[in-house]
Amino acid sequence: MSCWTKEELERMLGDVVDALGLSDAMVEKHGPLGTPPAELVGLVLQQKDMEIRVLKHGFHSIPGISRQARIIAIGSVIEAMKAANRSREEQGLSPAYPEEAFMDKADELMALAEEPGG
């Protein structure tokens, strides 16, 4: 039996949806009677991960973007990877990102540190 009332659980679920920062279109598409919450969180994480990958690749191809901005972008990717792994662990699933993926990100950071002018 749950330690929370139905109203408390509904409010917590609403807080989770608010924290996800869904667009109006996403709220309309996945509304209260639509997508199950766990699936919705997974979809949002996948979308954010894709956006981060696109931005990361864009940072490398746009002249004038500072090293600090690229470091922040890589850090954001790492945090998203960790969040996805935590979410999957809580569901009893294997990690979405293996240790090698984190090592690749560490290599990217090392390459930035070794760039001339750094």
The DSSP result for the chain, as a single string, is --SS-HHHHHHHHHHHHHHHT--HHHHHHH-TTSS-HHHHHHHHHHHHHHHHHHHHHHHHHSTT--HHHHHHHHHHHHHHHHHHHHHHHHTTPPPSS-HHHHHHHHHHHHHHHHSTT-
pTM of the model: 0.45
Same domain, residue pair 53 and 89: yes
Same domain, residue pair 56 and 30: no
Domain count, the chain: 2
Same domain, residue pair 25 and 13: yes
pLDDT of residue 61: 46
Percent pLDDT > 90 in the chain is 0
Same domain, residue pair 18 and 70: no
Work out the pLDDT band at 57, boundaries 50, 70, 90. low
| Average pLDDT of the chain to the nearest whole number | 78
Same domain, residue pair 105 and 65: yes
Same domain, residue pair 4 and 47: no
Same domain, residue pair 63 and 108: yes
pLDDT of residue 110: 82
Question: Residue 52 above 80 pLDDT?
Answer: no
The CA-atom distances, in angstroms, between 108 and each of 25, 41, 85 are 35, 28, 20
Burial 89-101 (b: 16+ CB within 10 A, else e): eeeeeebbbeeee
pLDDT 10s digits, 13-23: 778 777 777 77
Same domain, residue pair 18 and 45: no
Same domain, residue pair 10 and 53: no
Q: Write out the residue range of the structural domain in which residue 21 sits.
A: 1-34
Q: What CA–CA distance (Å, rounded) separates 112 from 91?
A: 35
Same domain, residue pair 59 and 104: yes
Same domain, residue pair 10 and 48: no
When mean pLDDT is compared across 4-13, 75-84, 107-116, the lowest value belongs to 107-116
Same domain, residue pair 26 and 65: no
